[in-house]
Structure 1
Amino acid sequence: MLTRQTYKIRPSEMKDAPQLIEMDALVWDIHTSPAPFHWKSRQQFLQHCPPGSQLVAVQGERVCGYVGFYPATGMPVNRHVYEINIAVHPNDRRSGVATSLMHAMKEYAREQGIHKLRLRVLSSNPGAIAFYTQCGFETEGRLVSEFYIAGKYVDDILMSYFIRNER
């Protein structure tokens, strides 16, 4: 059984790429993303997600989950904002990995001088919306009927969390 004592969180490394590619194929589908990640090669993955651009929860050498982060735009006036995404291996869900990753992401962002974390979530994913709300994220906007997925219009919900300087 996976417990907080049996996994650690660290920045992603080159050796994690195969497991992260596999996890993306397992986690991202029409219920979780309008454009699921399907990497054509390790090189393509590494160009999009270079080592250090994710915090990973690992048990030994096995990756249990990750939170990816990157500057929201390339503009200097927006460098205080990270866009994030989070995924947990299906076998490790409901074990506290996602919550631990989110706490680690907030701390890392604080250390990097980041002021705001933002993410996007489909309205058809109420479990994710509840999780983000529980983690302190608030809805900033809603793009109504932004996507047409599996025969239904789906809203794109924009959520954010403001990093406080207090510990």
Structure 2
Amino acid sequence: MKLSNKDRFIIRFSEIKDVRELIHLDHMIWTENTSPGPLMWRSQEDYLLNAPPGSQLVALKDDKLCGYVGFGCPSRMESNRHVCEVNIAVHPDYQRLGIGRQLIEAIKEHAADNAIRKLRLRVLSCNESALSFYRKCGFVEEGRLREEFYLGGRYVDEIFMCCMLTGGEGYGDHLT
């Protein structure tokens, strides 16, 4: 399913054939400034347990994976089914080209179409470019865990951000 073809980027649901590039992107993107700890997948099977096909929207240009937005229900509680937790990564060679914004818009559309009322994410306070990007995409700070991590010789806050959507009244059973 193609969700977007703007500027020759294609956005679609992840497939098993994407795993190698997704792992490579994760190892490249998630650093001390973007993640509280190293993100290392032991195998493709290990990765697929955490991010099965269809649990991410991927952006491609000329069949090369440029970025993704992962999504899922943050808990198994029925009362929390209207919330979707997201994480996004864009390859450094493709940053500042609008891919991140297209991925956020695509996940907003997918979420709203599936009765999700709230998108949430976590970001480190030292990741100022990500904070600015999320604000431009309509996310607001919802909470902060002060000095939650000690990274690179300094204490770093973990910031919780959200974006409220106008989804339906369902409970997001598709994210089980």
Matches within 5 A, 1:1-167: 4-165=6-167
Q: Deviation digits for residues 104-135 of structure 1, max 9, x if unmatched?
A: 01000001110100000000011100000000
Question: Does the CA-based 8 Å contact 1:81-1:115 persist in structure 2?
Answer: yes
1:90-111: CA deviation from partner (whole Å, max 9, x where unpaired): 1101110000000001000001
Taking the aligned partners of 2:6 and 2:82, their CA distance within structure 1 comes to: 30
Aligned partners of 1:71 and 1:81 also within 8 Å? yes
What is the one-letter code of the residue matched to 1:83? E
Amino acid aligned to 1:64: C
Given that residues 68 and 89 in structure 2 are in contact (C-alpha distance below 8 angstroms), is that contact kept between their aligned partners in structure 1?
Answer: yes
Report the 3-state secondary structure (helix = DSSP H, G, I; strand = E; otherwise coil) of the residue aligned with 2:115: coil
In 2, Cα distance between equivalents of 1:96 and 1:42: 29
Instruction: Please report how far the alpha carbon of residue 60 of structure 1 lies from its aligned counterpart in structure 2 after TM superposition.
Output: 3.0
Q: Percent identity?
A: 48
Q: Which amino acid letter does the alignment assign opposite residue 80 of structure 1?
A: H
Alpha-carbon deviations, 1:19-49, whole Å to 9, x = none?
A: 0000000100100010232101000000000
Amino acid of the residue matched to residue 134 of structure 2? Y
Letter in 1 for 2:127: N
**AA at the equivalent of 1:62:** K
Contact kept in structure 2, 1:122 and 1:155, CA below 8 Å: yes
Q: Distance in 2 between matches of 1:123 and 1:50?
A: 29
Aligned residues: 164
Q: Which runs of 4+ in 1 moved over 4 A?
A: none
TM-score in terms of structure 1 length: 0.95
Q: Check conservation: 2:58, 2:69, Cα contact below 8 A.
A: yes
What RMSD over aligned residues (CA atoms) do the two structures have, in Å?
1.3
Secondary structure in 2 matching 1:34: coil
Give the residue type in structure 2 aligned to 1:6.
Answer: R
Match for 1:132: what amino acid? Y
Unaligned stretches of 5+ residues in structure 2: 169-176
